[in-house]
Amino acid sequence: MIMPTPYLALLVSIAVMLAVTIFVLLNRYNDEAAP
């Protein structure tokens, strides 16, 4: 089993934040495009 370490926690946090940020960026202006 992978033991949680502070570095792993930081890495997971960065990955999650990147994923959410990309999702938000992709959905940024959809509401402006709609009539």
Contact residues toward other proteins (CB under 8 A) are: 4-7, 9-10, 13-14, 17, 20-21, 23-25, 27-29, 31-32
Q: Least distance from C-beta 32 to other proteins, angstroms?
A: 8
- The answer to whether the Cα torsion of 19, 23, 25, 26 is positive or negative is positive
C-beta of 10: minimal distance to other proteins in Å?
7
Contact 16, 8 (CB under 8 A): no
Q: Which is nearer to other proteins, 2 or 25 (CB)?
A: 25
Cβ–Cβ under 8 Å, residues 8 and 2: yes
